[in-house]
Chains A and B, each alone.
Chain A
Amino acid sequence: MEERRDAVRRLRGAVAGALAGCMPLAGGALACELPPGVRLESERVAVSFRTTPEKIAVGRPFTLDLAACPKRGVLVLERVRLDAHMPEHRHGMNYRTRVVPLGDGRFHSEGWLFHMPGRWEFVFELGSERLTHSVRIE
Chain B
Amino acid sequence: MRRRLAALLLGAAAAAHTQAPDAQAQRLDFSPTEVRAILSHGPWPAPWAGDPTNRGSGNAQAIALGELLFFDPRLSPSRKVLCATCHVPYRAWQDARARAVGLVEVDRNTPSLLDVRYQRWFGWDGAGDSLWAQSVRPISDAREMGGSRAEAAALVRGDAELACRYEKAFGAPPPASDEAVLAGIGKALAAFLETLVSGRSPFDEFRDALAANDVAAMKKYPEAAQRGLRIFIGRGNCNACHFGPNFTNGEFHDTGVPFFIKGGVDEGRYGGIGKLERNPLNLLGAYNDDRSGASAVKTRQVALEHRNFGEFKVPTLRNVALTAPYMHNGSLATLADVVRHYSEVSPDRLHSDGIPLVKALHLSAAESADLVAFLETLSESASALAPRRPYARCR
Chain A residues within CB distance 8 Å of chain B: 1, 4, 58-59, 61, 86-98, 110-111, 113, 115-118, 138
Within 8 A of A (CB), among B301-326: 301-303, 305, 307
- Interchain nearest-CB distance for B64 vs A (Å): 32
Asked whether B240 lies within 8 Å of A94 as measured between CB atoms, the reply is no
Q: B241 contacts which chain A residues (CB < 8 A)?
A: 116
Decide if B79 is an interface residue (CB 8 Å cutoff). no
Interface size class of B (residues with CB under 8 A): 20 to 34
- Interchain nearest-CB distance for B39 vs A (Å): 11
- Interchain nearest-CB distance for B274 vs A (Å): 10
Q: Which residue of A59, A88, A98, A118 is within 8 Å of B300 (Cβ)?
A: A98
Decide if B249 is an interface residue (CB 8 Å cutoff). yes
A95–B120 Cα distance when bound, in Å, is: 13
Q: A89 contacts which chain B residues (CB < 8 A)?
A: 352, 354-357
Decide if B36 is an interface residue (CB 8 Å cutoff). yes
Q: B284 contacts which chain A residues (CB < 8 A)?
A: 4
- Interchain nearest-CB distance for A136 vs B (Å): 12
Please indicate which of the listed interface residues B40, B300, B305, B357 has the most CB atoms of chain A within 10 Å of its own CB.
B300
Asked whether A88 lies within 8 Å of B301 as measured between CB atoms, the reply is no
Decide if B123 is an interface residue (CB 8 Å cutoff). no
Q: A92 contacts which chain B residues (CB < 8 A)?
A: 303
Q: Which residue of B243, B251, B298, B303 is within 8 Å of A117 (Cβ)?
A: B243
Decide if B250 is an interface residue (CB 8 Å cutoff). yes
A44–B249 Cα distance when bound, in Å, is: 38
Decide if B252 is an interface residue (CB 8 Å cutoff). yes
Q: A94 contacts which chain B residues (CB < 8 A)?
A: 251-252, 302-303, 305
User: Top 4 A-B pairs ranked by shortest CB distance?
Assistant: A111-B301, A90-B354, A115-B251, A90-B353
- Interchain nearest-CB distance for A94 vs B (Å): 6
A59–B241 Cα distance when bound, in Å, is: 10
A4–B240 Cα distance when bound, in Å, is: 32
Asked whether A91 lies within 8 Å of B307 as measured between CB atoms, the reply is yes
- Interchain nearest-CB distance for A121 vs B (Å): 12
Can you report 19 A-B residue pairs in the complex whose CB atoms are below 8 A from each other?
A4-B284, A59-B120, A59-B250, A59-B251, A61-B297, A86-B354, A91-B354, A94-B252, A94-B302, A94-B305, A95-B301, A96-B302, A110-B301, A111-B297, A115-B249, A115-B251, A116-B241, A138-B36, A138-B40
